């Protein structure tokens, strides 16, 4: 060991201290697990600490005799060790191998010879890195060395690292995917990535992306589940792919948006039909046609065309009332409901809620429901407010009409209200108790 150069010897001794510290940690673990007793633990720890103290004294003694150049170099090498993954040559610590990795596992081993620092350094790139960055002297901080003051070794290596990340467009591309999507990489060196895309309703869809030929258009293989919704050849981001400016993340964003839109439309149609609404989606023009029947006793239909935007449901649909109500009050209620629904829209809103609002509006103005409870069927006697068979009245209905405002009510609802207030529920005119 004494035949080593001073710097080599110092790092060798420091390595011994690190090994002894590891032994200390293992002893503590053995003591905590009951493998050794307190006396054994204390004795061994004291022995290790004694050795470390002796080694530290040796290091201090050697450091006192270091030249100024060796002192500077020692600090530089320690900084490199603390900031990078390195392979030190125990026989010559000034010959350092530094590991660099790209985001998809490409590995570069850069050799740094710094025995003459701060006057001169030698840096060697492997062929793959030379292909990517050019020779080491093509990087300004290396070409201009030694600057005044000379650049620190760690700054030179950081610059190399930044150049690798900055000029490797493939790395940037993969990083952008990791930032936005759930990405799996089968092996460190694989260019094949598995992407998990989640809809707004947290439904998962998978696809594989092969970046082997990037920046040419990547090979994309959607899962069978995704193929039901996505046609790759129709994607704008694929049809307009440009090797110099296009990005894979744009393709995935477009796919994600289409999935959200199509899944949401399917859900909307399902909810609308559950509400007994006649709903049909015209995919060519992205329009949902909806027919709303006024009531069971009045088959009049109001038709709506609902234009679905490309970024639906992030943006609200455009709702067009095709069939205008003849009743001015109902027409205004419909239009106000449309305006309010669009203004208050957020991605979790749905069209079924909107048509529930319209049905409530029709109930408030309809001549075919009770003006008090807003229902066709009386909540007290279960008869309709009008005859169940056209032209047949009397025993089949529960109906009374206000002599003042002419609005109709369930007779039961009317009695319940008037006996307390002696007024019509709508016009508030006085009603004599019979």
Asked if 86 and 49 sit in the same domain, the reply is no
Joined tokens for residue 216:
């040419």
Instruction: Give the residue-averaged pLDDT of 289-300.
Output: 76
Domain contains 327: yes
Question: Is 291 in the same domain as 353?
Answer: yes
| Structural domain includes residue 158 | yes
pLDDT digits (tens, 9 = 90+) for 107-122: 899 999 999 999 999 9
- Domain membership of residue 321 as a residue range: 275-365
Least confident of 203-207, 298-302, 305-309: 298-302
* Amino acid 393: pLDDT: 52
The answer as to whether 269 is a domain residue is no
DSSP code of residue 243: T
Task: Give domain status of residue 313, yes or no.
Answer: yes
Has residue 256 got a pLDDT over 60? yes
In a domain, 265, yes or no: no
Q: Which of 226, 260, 294 is the last residue of a domain?
A: 260
Q: Find the helix packing angle between 169-180 and 153-167, rounded to 10°.
A: 80
213-251 pLDDT, tens digit each: 888 999 999 999 999 999 999 999 999 999 888 999 999
Lowest mean pLDDT among 47-51, 86-90, 168-172, 408-412: 168-172
The burial class, CB within 10 Å (0-12 / 13-18 / 19+), for 434 is exposed
Q: Are 77 and 163 in a shared domain?
A: yes
- Answer yes or no: is 235 within a domain: yes
- Within this chain, do residues 335 and 395 fall inside the same structural domain, yes or no? no
Q: Which two tokens stand for residue 336?
A: 């106000």
User: Looking at per-residue confidence, does 283 or 158 come out higher?
Assistant: 158
Q: Are 360 and 370 in contact (CB under 8 A)?
A: no
Chain Cα centroid distance, residue 65: 58
**Domain end (from 207, 233, 260):** 260
What is the C-alpha to C-alpha distance for residues 391 and 108, in angstroms, rounded to an integer? 91
Higher local confidence (pLDDT), 122 or 374? 122
Between β-strands 86-89 and 278-282, what pairing exists: parallel, antiparallel or unpaired? unpaired
Which span out of 49-63, 297-311, 386-400 was modeled with the highest average pLDDT?
A: 49-63
Kindly report, residue by residue over 162-200, the tens digit of the pLDDT: 888 766 778 788 888 999 999 998 765 578 999 999 988
CATH of the domain at 234: 3.10.110
pLDDT number for residue 14: 92
Among 133, 153, 139, smallest CA distance to 83 is for 153
Pair (52, 86) in one structural domain: no
Task: Render pLDDT for 315-358 as a digit per residue (tens, 0 to 9).
Answer: 999 999 998 887 788 888 889 999 999 999 998 888 998 998 88
Give the count of beta carbons closer than 10 Å to the beta carbon of residue 310. 12
Predicted local distance difference test score (pLDDT) of residue 391? 46
If 0-12 CB within 10 Å is exposed, 13-18 middle and 19+ buried, where does residue 369 land?
buried
Number of domains in the chain: 5
Q: CA–CA separation, 317 vs 265, rounded Å? A: 11
What does the pLDDT look like over 23-64, one tens digit per residue?
999 999 999 999 999 999 999 999 999 999 999 999 999 999
Average pLDDT, the chain: 88
Is 70 exceeded by the pLDDT of residue 382?
yes
Q: Is residue 267 a part of any domain in this protein? A: no
Phi-psi region of 319 (alpha: psi -120 to 50; beta: other; left: phi over 0): beta
Give the model's pLDDT for residue 114: 94
pLDDT given at position 325: 80
CA–CA separation, 366 and 402 (whole Å): 15
For the segment 266-292, the average pLDDT, to the nearest whole number, is: 91
On the question of pLDDT at 379 being above 70, the answer is yes
In this structure, are 160 and 132 located in the same domain?
yes
145 and 90 share one domain: yes
Same domain, 358 and 394: no
Residue 284 maps to a domain: yes
pLDDT at res. 367: 63
CATH of residue 315: 3.10.110.10
Question: Do 36 and 121 reside in the same domain of the chain?
Answer: no
| Residue 402 and residue 420 in one domain | yes
Torsion of CA 359, 361, 362, 366, to 10 degrees: 140
Query: Which residues neighbour 357 within 8 Å (Cβ) at sequence distance 6 or greater?
Result: 337, 341
CA distances from 269 to 289, 302, 355 (A): 10, 17, 12
Q: Clarify whether residues 36 and 95 are in a common domain.
A: no
Give the model's pLDDT for residue 399. Answer: 87
Quickly state the pLDDT bin for 1 (edges 50, 70, 90): very low
CA distance 317 to 194: 33
Which of 306, 340, 365 is where one domain is finished? 365
Q: Could you tell me if 301 and 256 lie in one domain?
A: no
């Amino acid at each position: 060991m004494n035949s080593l150069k001073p710097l080599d010897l110092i790092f060798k001794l420091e390595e011994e201290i690190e090994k002894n510290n590891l032994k200390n940690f293992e002893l503590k673990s053995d003591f905590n697990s009951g493998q050794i007793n307190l006396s054994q633990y204390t004795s061994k720890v004291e022995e290790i600490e004694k050795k470390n103290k002796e080694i530290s004294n040796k290091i201090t003694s050697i450091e006192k005799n270091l030249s100024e150049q060796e002192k500077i170099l020692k600090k530089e090498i320690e900084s490199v060790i603390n900031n990078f993954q390195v392979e030190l040559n125990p026989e010559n610590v000034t010959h350092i191998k530094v590991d660099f990795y790209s985001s998809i596992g490409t590995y570069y081993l850069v050799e740094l010879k710094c025995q003459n620092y701060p006057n001169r350094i030698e840096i060697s790139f492997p062929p793959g890195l030379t292909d990517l960055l050019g020779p080491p002297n093509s990087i300004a901080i290396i070409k201009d060395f030694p600057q005044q003051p000379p650049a620190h070794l760690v700054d030179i290596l950081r610059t190399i690292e930044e150049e690798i990340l900055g000029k490797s467009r493939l790395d940037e591309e993969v990083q952008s995917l990791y930032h936005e999507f759930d990405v799996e990489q089968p092996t460190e060196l694989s260019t094949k990535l598995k992407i998990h895309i989640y809809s707004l309703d947290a439904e998962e869809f998978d696809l594989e992306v092969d970046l082997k030929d990037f920046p040419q258009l990547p090979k994309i293989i959607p899962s069978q589940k995704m193929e039901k919704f996505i046609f790759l050849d129709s994607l704008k981001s694929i049809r307009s792919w440009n090797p110099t400016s296009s990005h894979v993340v744009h393709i995935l964003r477009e796919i994600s948006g289409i999935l959200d839109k199509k899944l949401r439309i399917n859900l909307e149609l399902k909810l609308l039909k559950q509400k007994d609404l006649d709903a049909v989606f015209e995919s060519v023009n992205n329009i949902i046609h909806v027919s709303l029947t006024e009531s069971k006793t009045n088959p009049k239909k109001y038709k709506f065309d609902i234009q679905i935007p490309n970024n639906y449901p992030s943006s609200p649909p455009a709702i067009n009332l095709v069939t205008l109500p003849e009743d001015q009050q109902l027409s205004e209620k419909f239009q106000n409901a449309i305006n309010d629904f669009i203004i208050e829209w957020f991605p979790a809103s749905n069209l079924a809620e909107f048509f529930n609002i319209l049905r409530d509006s029709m109930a408030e103005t309809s001549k075919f429901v009770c003006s008090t409870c807003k229902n066709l069927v009386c909540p007290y006697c279960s008869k309709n407010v009008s005859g169940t068979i056209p032209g047949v009245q009397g025993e089949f209905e529960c109906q009374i009409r206000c002599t003042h405002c002419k609005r109709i009510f369930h007779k039961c609802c009317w009695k319940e209200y008037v006996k307390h207030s002696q007024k019509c529920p709508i016009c508030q005119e006085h009603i004599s108790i019979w």
